[in-house]
Structure formats: structure tokens, C-alpha cells
């Protein structure tokens, strides 16, 4: 029987652990609106595990509904306060916002 040059055991590749929030949540971007700069991050349906109230329409964003999370990128109180004041919006409500 001919000899095989393939390794019989798989090597364990050293990889960085996945950041699940980035994988499930989407890529953050910065958007300019008339009231300033905003960080906007899509929230996938799988990562939406709570019920939120959309500030755009006042409606409920149910569990399992994809939406966006937005917070100030140019706030004067600092990045930690801006992030703590983030809001969850229906994707359509955020797009319709001037």
C-alpha cells in the first residue's frame, strides 16, 4: 500500500477568540445628523434579547427584532456617559430621523 504524506491528526490552529458582540451585533459606524455625530450599531435579531421602547415612534421593539443602537459621538460629558445614554431605535425610525 502506498504511503500517505498527509498528517493523520489535525493541528490545533491558534486563533483569537471571537468577539461575539461584534459578530452578532454588526459593525459600528458614525453618522452625521443635524443635531451632531452619532455612533450607530446594528443589533441583529438573535442578539435582541430584551424589549426596548423606540424614541422615534414610542413603539415597542420586541425580543428578536433587528434594530439599531445609537449614542452620541460628540457628547461633552465623555464617552462613558454617551454610551450609558444609548437608545435602541427601529431601523426605519432611525433612517427617517432628520
Render pLDDT for 6-38 as a digit per residue (tens, 0 to 9).
777 766 656 666 555 554 456 889 999 998 999
The pLDDT value recorded for residue 38 is 94
74: in domain: yes
**Structural domain total, the chain:** 1
16: in domain: no
Cβ-in-10-Å burial (0-12, 13-18, 19+) of 86 comes to: middle
11: in domain: no
Strand extents, DSSP E, 1-98: 29-33, 36-43, 52-53, 60-61, 67-72, 87-89
| pLDDT at position 44 over 90 | yes
14: in domain: no
59: in domain: yes
86: in domain: yes
Summarize pLDDT for 51-97 with one digit per residue, the tens.
Answer: 999 999 999 999 999 999 999 998 888 888 888 899 999 999 999 98
Domain span holding position 78: 32-96
41: in domain: yes
13: in domain: no
Residue with cell 422615534: 56
Residue 45: pLDDT band (50, 70, 90) is very high
The pLDDT value recorded for residue 24 is 47
The pLDDT value recorded for residue 18 is 53
Amino acid at each position: 500500500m502506498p504511503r500517505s504524506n498527509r498528517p493523520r491528526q489535525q493541528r490545533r490552529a491558534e486563533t483569537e477568540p471571537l468577539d461575539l458582540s461584534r459578530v452578532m451585533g454588526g459593525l459600528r459606524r458614525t453618522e452625521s445628523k443635524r443635531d451632531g455625530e452619532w455612533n450607530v450599531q446594528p443589533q441583529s435579531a438573535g442578539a435582541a434579547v430584551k424589549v426596548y421602547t423606540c424614541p422615534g415612534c414610542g413603539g415597542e421593539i420586541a425580543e428578536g427584532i433587528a434594530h439599531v443602537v445609537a449614542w452620541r459621538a460628540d457628547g461633552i460629558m465623555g464617552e462613558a456617559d454617551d454610551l450609558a445614554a444609548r437608545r435602541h431605535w427601529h431601523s426605519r425610525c432611525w433612517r427617517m430621523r432628520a
